Amino acid sequence: MQTLADRCVATTITTGVGALTLGNAPSAAYINLAEAVTQGQAATDDEIGYVILEGALDAPTAWEIGVGTIGGAGGSLTRGARLSFDGSVYSTSPLSLGPGTKYVVFTPDSISLAQEPFSFAGTADGTPNALTLTPRPSVVALRDGMVFRFQAGATNTGPATMAVSGLGPHPLQFGGAGIPAGVIISGLYYQVVYAANTFQLDRISGALLPTGSFTDLAFSGLMSSDVIVNSLRQMARFRNNSQGGSASTRISMGNFADADDFRITLNGTGNGSGPGLRGTEIRANGGSLWLRGANTELRLDADGIVRSPPVFSQTTGTPANVAVDSAGQLRRSSSARKYKRDIADYTRGLAELKALRPVSYRPADQSDDRVFAGFVAEEVHDAGLTEFVHYIGGEPDALHYPIMVALAVAAIKELSGTVEALETARAEQETRLAALEARVTALETP
């Protein structure tokens, strides 16, 4: 591991913006870069942070911070400026060095200051669940916000840790939680951010989620991937931890041309908007929604029509008991006393029944060319039998045929009463006739 001395300083008389030829240290209080290489604290071709100072060592008038490459066993340095100041203007270009002696400082602080925001640390070493990274130049102190990229050398089999330049190990997490097995996959490239003594997994090349079994994933913010994944065996649980119970969690899928072709939204317990409290919304951007199994199929078309062909094959001899209201809600139709109120005797009967006009007809939508028999809803309304009419927007739309049997029963009972009265009268007449016949017979007998 690279461990530069606390004060490694070399002098240079190089001018212009090219590579530096490095000389001795300015005093015995320092070592120069060549000595650092000899001591094994650095090596030729290493990348190293540096600060070039013009003017006095303790009071520079101009400077350059960068990451350079060591050459000639520490005798030269190829510059890679990150920020410079010429005494009046700040720039990201190399400082044009003037004549005279300049000082090149190599310290842990300069390395950390000049380190690139994204440092590729090569292939992770260590074990599958205890990863180690060795970036060059090495990191002498971990600070929140440091970002490292690496290629996985193995697939993790459980919760994992990571150490960088021997610093750590610290937990490797995703969304604030330890990662399960299979998140780190050998050969894929990853990006982590150091924060609060943890390494937070920030980005993955390839599939966003690993194939196989993936039981629990907690995250905050947006997850997206531009990679097409052919495997259909992925399992995931998504939890939005950003705003507690009031937050909604959405999973969206789509291509670049049609964003959000399909999405599922779960409203939190404290969210009263959308489809309702704790509601789950499944939305397709055009087309139909399908639920399919080995022998099942349920389809919701874009026009709102629900289709399930297997339902047609499920037959029964029991009466129909399903009603559809104007909002499209399916309900079970029941006749038990507990579902009724204001129960009273029905007072309509034969006269109202006689006012109805039975008709024959064919369906107007031509869905069936057979002839059917029934009534016209408007005519039933005009007859005053509104209890049998279903209205939409105040207009007659359909008839409740099953309950029209009440009118028929009332009319039958009315006719039955008339018949009973006539039979009673006929019986009385037959009795009187029999009496008269008996008297006639008596008179005719000598």
For the segment 41-45, the average pLDDT, to the nearest whole number, is 86
155-188 confidence digits (pLDDT tens): 999 999 999 988 999 999 988 889 988 889 998 8
pLDDT category at 381 given cuts 50, 70, 90 is very high
Percentage of residues in the chain with pLDDT exceeding 70? 75
Indicate whether 366 pLDDT > 60.
Answer: yes
DSSP-derived 3-state class of residue 344: coil
- What pLDDT shows up at residue 143? 80
**Residue with more model confidence, 127 or 240:** 127
Peptide bond before residue 137 is cis, with ω within 30 degrees of 0: yes
Rounded to an integer, what distance in angstroms lies between the CA atom of residue 208 and that of residue 157? 17
DSSP-derived 3-state class of residue 433: helix
One-letter amino acid for residue 325 of the chain: D
- Using a CB cutoff of 8 Å and minimum separation of 24, what contacts does 366-370 make? none
Average pLDDT of the residues of the chain: 79
pLDDT category at 4 given cuts 50, 70, 90 is low
9-30 confidence digits (pLDDT tens): 999 999 999 999 999 999 988 8
pLDDT category at 257 given cuts 50, 70, 90 is low
Percentage of residues in the chain with pLDDT exceeding 90? 39
Indicate whether 277 pLDDT > 50.
Answer: no
- What pLDDT shows up at residue 274? 44
One-letter amino acid for residue 245 of the chain: G
Indicate whether 31 pLDDT > 70.
Answer: yes
55-79 confidence digits (pLDDT tens): 988 889 999 998 889 999 999 999 9
258-276 confidence digits (pLDDT tens): 555 666 766 655 444 444 4
400-416 confidence digits (pLDDT tens): 898 899 999 999 999 99
For the segment 100-116, the average pLDDT, to the nearest whole number, is 65
291-300 confidence digits (pLDDT tens): 777 677 777 7
Indicate whether 442 pLDDT > 90.
Answer: no
Q: What are the helix (H) ranges across 230-338?
A: 309-312
Rounded to an integer, what distance in angstroms lies between the CA atom of residue 142 and that of residue 167? 7
Rounded to an integer, what distance in angstroms lies between the CA atom of residue 185 and that of residue 111? 31
Any idea which residue has 């649980």 for tokens? 237
79-95 confidence digits (pLDDT tens): 988 888 999 988 888 99
Indicate whether 142 pLDDT > 50.
Answer: yes
- What pLDDT shows up at residue 232? 36
Q: Could you tell me the two tokens for 70?
A: 């060591």
